[in-house]
Amino acid sequence: MEIKIAENCGFCFGVKRAVQMALEAADSDRESYTLGPIIHNPQVVGKLADKGVGSVDTLQDIPEGTVIIRSHGVGPAVYEEAKCRDLDVIDATCPHVKKAQRDAASVVEEGMTLVILGEKDHPEVKSINLWSGNKAIIVETEENAKNLPIVEKMGVVVQTTFSQFKFQSIIDILETKSKNLKVFKTICTATQERQSSAVALAKEVDLMIVIGGKNSGNTTRLAEVCRDVGCTTYHIETATELQLAWFKDTQTVGVTAGASTPDWIIKEVIKTMKEFEELLAAESAKAEDLKKGCVVEGTVVQIEDERAYVSIFGLKTEAVLNKSEIAYPAPASAKDVLHDGDEIKAVIMNHIKEDNPVYLSITRLAKDEDWQYVIEAQEKDEPIVCKGIDAIPAGLVVTVKSLRGFIPLSQGDVHFVKSLDSLVNTEFEAKVLEIDEKKNRLVLSRRAVLEVERQAKLEEALKNITVGETYKGIVRKIMPYGAFVDIGGIEGLLHISDISWQKIKKVEDVLTVGQEIEVKLQSFEPETNKLSLSLKALSKSPWDVAEETLHVGDVITGKVVRLVAYGAFVAVNDDIQGLLHISQITKQRNAKVEDYLTRGQDIEVKIISLDKDAKKLGLALTELMESKEVAEEAE
């Protein structure tokens, strides 16, 4: 790429003079201010501010010191006000603007209609008009000129930075508006030279870069005249605005700058363009090496719901990254995952051909890296993070980065579970059981990780357990023969016979999974780490209670619950049954119990014996009867 610089560009005499005067004022003992920006270049104005020369909008903003009249000039009233405020005045008005101001005043003095060719809102045009007593007609376009009335005498003054090409076409129109037309061609020679050089260069190159403030009229017109000859043109203020894409497939680039653009900005722009030239040359060389299967890095430049477009160094056009190739599972929208400016790494999916799109895949690249990740994890027996996405009868489908894996139902937990629904949309650790990259097969085990954690908790917990102590626990699993209860990382068996002093048919009638209970550690086998727990041991046995509340000789009421050949069993409360032997019912030989008692009958009995250890309670009925007969005889 060849870079050509316009023969005439950059600071003109008037601008250079104004900036130099402001710099000299910065070195003086008095505070100095410019009335408005001294020139239309933000970077120069900023540098002056750093040196202590600030910009103000009105003289009222200056308490004392020096006011610098900017290159665009001001009206006569400003000089008068500055004198009244006892301000020193440094007049940096461009000499060409001064001449235009004097010419405008002379046109009015001679009684002619004053026309100013220029931008009505430009400070230079305003200052020229002020010297005419604001009596001028401002004409900016051919259409404005056509709308003017015919007058006897007309004088024309021109903004110093006005387009010389537009100037002549407007003058041709104004010649039809007055027989006595006097033209003061006050367009600065530097402006004419810069516009002519820019046009000549624009005709030779593929692209024009125009450097200068966006608020600079002369720079804006340079960009206009370049575009008018059909050259692609970009107007920038600094090198930071340059874009590499502008220079792709460009052979020659022209550079020009407005009259208010300093040399150091022009040099920075040219330096950046040369760096771009080197990048493009390297990119062109890189493009020759790109092919299907290559891993490339790029920048996301545009995103749609279905795809993103990526700028790849070495490719002339943006590559396409479909949402299905961004991540697994595919996102609902590419916008959910990527953002403009994101740097990505991907693999080229297709053969590169002229005018055909280049397709990329992040998932394909990620899969190669992720298979290596799980292989290494298996070799080191290390857990990996996965996420559950779908629970099925046989187990759980998971993702490991970009890979799809499976956890069998038996490997989902340390306990038997009917489903792994609870793991859907959650992240957890698992170990690799089986890998077959060719068949895209990856089998994992969450149980293996939980077993390690369980064993660690078990070893720690075993240090702190004592047989005979009471612990809080959680019911983890219920079996027909009992329940497994977790007491701080250790699971022990609570046998069905140790749940209650009363006989129970099913464990589920008393306990539920997840229920928190207190249990007593009855025994511990260190060799097998087996723990035996008891719930009923936390309460007194019915026979302990009976020993405290029932005594031999007590007369109590009981209910006949069962008849046998040798007597009857009588329930004295919900937990204790005593034997009423046939010999304690009647003294008749070969008597039948059913001749005296019936099941469910309430009777009064006397306790004749109580053996807590043997769990036997002896009852008598006949003694009670004899006692009653004796009592009746006594009466």
* pLDDT of the residue at 389: 93
Catalytic annotation on 469?
A: no
Least confident of 33-47, 179-193, 228-242, 270-284: 270-284
Length of the chain: 635
* pLDDT of the residue at 254: 92
* pLDDT of the residue at 157: 95
Instruction: Give 599 or 38, the one with higher predicted confidence.
Output: 599
Give the pLDDT confidence of 4-32 residue by residue, as tens digits: 998 888 777 788 888 888 888 888 888 88
CA distances from 449 to 118, 245, 426, 455 (A): 81, 52, 16, 10
State which amino acid sits at residue 221: R
Surface-to-core class of residue 566, CB atoms within 10 Å of its CB (0-12 exposed, 13-18 middle, 19+ buried): exposed
* pLDDT of the residue at 578: 92
* pLDDT of the residue at 155: 94
* pLDDT of the residue at 628: 33
Per the annotation, binding residues for [4Fe-4S] cluster are 12, 94, 188
* pLDDT of the residue at 200: 92
* Cβ pair 266, 255 in contact under 8 A: yes
Separation CA 64–CA 337 (nearest Å):
59
* pLDDT of the residue at 554: 87
* pLDDT of the residue at 595: 85
* pLDDT of the residue at 622: 55
* pLDDT of the residue at 448: 93
Least confident of 358-362, 583-587, 623-627: 623-627
* pLDDT of the residue at 283: 64
* pLDDT of the residue at 286: 55
How many CA atoms lie less than 13 Å away from 127 in the CB half-sphere?
26
* pLDDT of the residue at 210: 94
CATH 3.40.50.150 fits 465-538, yes or no: no
CA distances from 283 to 166, 289, 358, 513 (A): 42, 10, 16, 66
Give the pLDDT confidence of 40-82 residue by residue, as tens digits: 888 888 888 888 888 898 989 888 889 999 888 999 999 999 9
* Cβ pair 173, 142 in contact under 8 A: yes
pLDDT at 626 > cutoff 60: no
* Cβ pair 444, 432 in contact under 8 A: yes
Residue 339: CB atoms within 10 Å: 10
Among the listed residues 614, 615, 606, the one whose alpha carbon sits nearest the alpha carbon of residue 585: 606
Instruction: Place 368 in a pLDDT band, splitting at 50, 70 and 90.
Output: confident
- Average pLDDT of the chain? 87
Strands 153-158 vs 180-184: parallel, antiparallel or unpaired: parallel
Fold held by 7-91: Rossmann fold (3.40.50)
Instruction: Place 633 in a pLDDT band, splitting at 50, 70 and 90.
Output: very low
Give span(s): CATH 3.40.1010.20, the chain. 95-187, 195-288
Separation CA 311–CA 248 (nearest Å):
12
Give the pLDDT confidence of 338-354 residue by residue, as tens digits: 999 999 888 888 877 76
Residue 135 backbone dihedrals phi, psi, to 5 degrees? -105, 5
Separation CA 628–CA 631 (nearest Å):
5
The CA-based diameter of the chain, rounded to the nearest angstrom, is 167
> Could you tell me which residues are beta bridge partners of residue 343?
299
* pLDDT of the residue at 164: 78
Place of tokens 């060799």: 527
CATH 3.40.980.10 fits 294-361, yes or no: no
pLDDT at 632 > cutoff 60: no
DSSP state of 534: E
Least confident of 86-95, 293-302, 352-361, 425-434: 352-361
pLDDT at 314 > cutoff 90: no
Separation CA 297–CA 321 (nearest Å):
12
Task: Dump the DSSP string for 267-289.
Answer: HHHHHHHHHHHHHHHHHHHHHHH
Which residues, including other chains, have CB under 8 Å from residue 302's CB and lie 6 or more apart? 308, 309, 318, 340
CATH 2.20.28.270 fits 548-633, yes or no: no
pLDDT at 36 > cutoff 80: yes
Give the pLDDT confidence of 369-399 residue by residue, as tens digits: 889 999 999 999 999 999 999 999 999 999 9
* Cβ pair 405, 399 in contact under 8 A: yes
Convert 95-121 to b/e letters by CB count within 10 Å (16 or more is b): ebbbebbebbbbbbeeebbbbbbbbee
* pLDDT of the residue at 288: 55
N-terminal to C-terminal alpha carbon distance within the chain: 141
Separation CA 138–CA 161 (nearest Å):
15
Least confident of 40-44, 311-315, 448-452, 491-495: 311-315
Give span(s): CATH 2.40.50.140, the chain. 294-361, 465-538, 548-633
Per the annotation, binding residues are 12, 40, 72, 94, 122, 160, 188, 216, 218, 260
pLDDT at 287 > cutoff 70: no
Give the pLDDT confidence of 128-159 residue by residue, as tens digits: 999 999 999 999 999 999 999 999 999 999 99
- Cα 6 to chain centroid distance, Å, stands at 47
CATH number listed for the domain at residues 195-288: 3.40.1010.20
Fold held by 381-439: OB fold (Dihydrolipoamide Acetyltransferase, E2P) (2.40.50)
Secondary structure (H, E, C), 435-473: EECCCCEEEEEHHHHHHHHHHHHHHHHHCCCCCCCEEEE
Least confident of 524-538, 551-565, 611-625: 611-625
The mean pLDDT of 414-434, rounded to a whole number, is: 92
pLDDT at 591 > cutoff 50: yes
Task: Dump the DSSP string for 181-212.
Answer: EEEE----HHHHHHHHHHHHHHTT-SEEEEES
Residue 411: CB atoms within 10 Å: 22
From 124, 237, 325, 491, the catalytic residue: 124
In sign, the C-alpha dihedral spanning 331, 332, 333, 335 is negative
Fold held by 95-187: Cobalt-precorrin-4 Transmethylase; domain 1 (3.40.1010)
- Looking at the chain, the whole-number percentage of residues with pLDDT higher than 90 is 44
Give span(s): CATH 3.40.50.11270, the chain. 7-91
- Cα 574 to chain centroid distance, Å, stands at 66
Instruction: Give 165 or 115, the one with higher predicted confidence.
Output: 115
